[in-house]
Amino acid sequence: MILPALITFALAATFASNSQEAKKAEAPVELAHVSNSLHFVVHAPLSRVAPLFGPEAERNWAGKHWNPEFVYPQEAKDVQGAVFTVKHGSHTGVWVNTVFDLETGRMQYVYFIADVLVTTVDVKLTPLGASDTTVDVTYVRTALVADANDDVRSLGDRDRAAGPEWQEAIEGYFKDQHK
């Protein structure tokens, strides 16, 4: 009777030891979380700049890669609560407009790509006198899987460097409007 009990104990101890080693080997990988901001000035008043940060109006300056498909409202309209999708390479991001206040120049979006990443985009516009507007945009990105860590970091680097490109595109749009 003692021998079977010792064998059972030895097997249990071995299993527990192997199980603990397996858990150590499966230690969670840290997921990337980055926050990056861009800042620039547009030579136009807040009342003209603010609407351009709605997903529909952004089509006017953001280029052909920005093509939101609205889920709500069904007729595309820049409103708080709008839900739309945007292609990001081979993935589709689901976007929600959580703040859309043209008067104060505040817009915020949250978007996610399932099993890849979650992003918040926080836009703050501030009038500089009667004819200029400061634009501050902060992206906060979090990888949902370790395989997305490099992409999240790379997107963060791009976010930080996008200010001059955005400024040029928005001011180019305004120049085209005056022709």
**Residue 18: predicted pLDDT:** 54
Residue 11 has pLDDT above 80, yes or no: no
Q: Give dist(CA 124, CA 117) in Å, integer.
A: 23
Q: What would you report as the CA-atom Rg of the chain, rounded to the nearest whole angstrom?
A: 24
Residue 85 falls inside a structural domain: yes
Q: Give dist(CA 107, CA 104) in Å, integer.
A: 9
Give per-residue pLDDT as tens, 32-89: 999 999 999 999 999 999 999 999 999 999 998 899 999 999 999 999 999 999 998 8
- Which residues constitute the domain of residue 55? 30-177
Please tell me the total count of domains within the chain.
1
Give per-residue pLDDT as tens, 101-128: 999 999 999 999 999 999 999 999 999 9
Average pLDDT of span 160-168: 95
> Whole-model pTM?
0.82
Residue 144 falls inside a structural domain: yes
Residue 7 has pLDDT above 70, yes or no: no
* Furthest-apart CA atoms within the chain: distance in Å: 98
**Residue 17: predicted pLDDT:** 53
Could you give the percent of the chain with pLDDT greater than 70?
84
Residue 6 falls inside a structural domain: no
Q: Write out the two tokens for 41.
A: 């000035």
Residue 25 falls inside a structural domain: no
Residue 92 falls inside a structural domain: yes
Average pLDDT of span 132-148: 97
Residue 7 falls inside a structural domain: no
CATH number at 97 reads: 3.30.530.20
Could you give the percent of the chain with pLDDT greater than 90?
78
Residue 142 has pLDDT above 50, yes or no: yes
Residue 9 falls inside a structural domain: no
**Residue 3: predicted pLDDT:** 46
Q: Give dist(CA 100, CA 54) in Å, integer.
A: 8
Residue 2 falls inside a structural domain: no
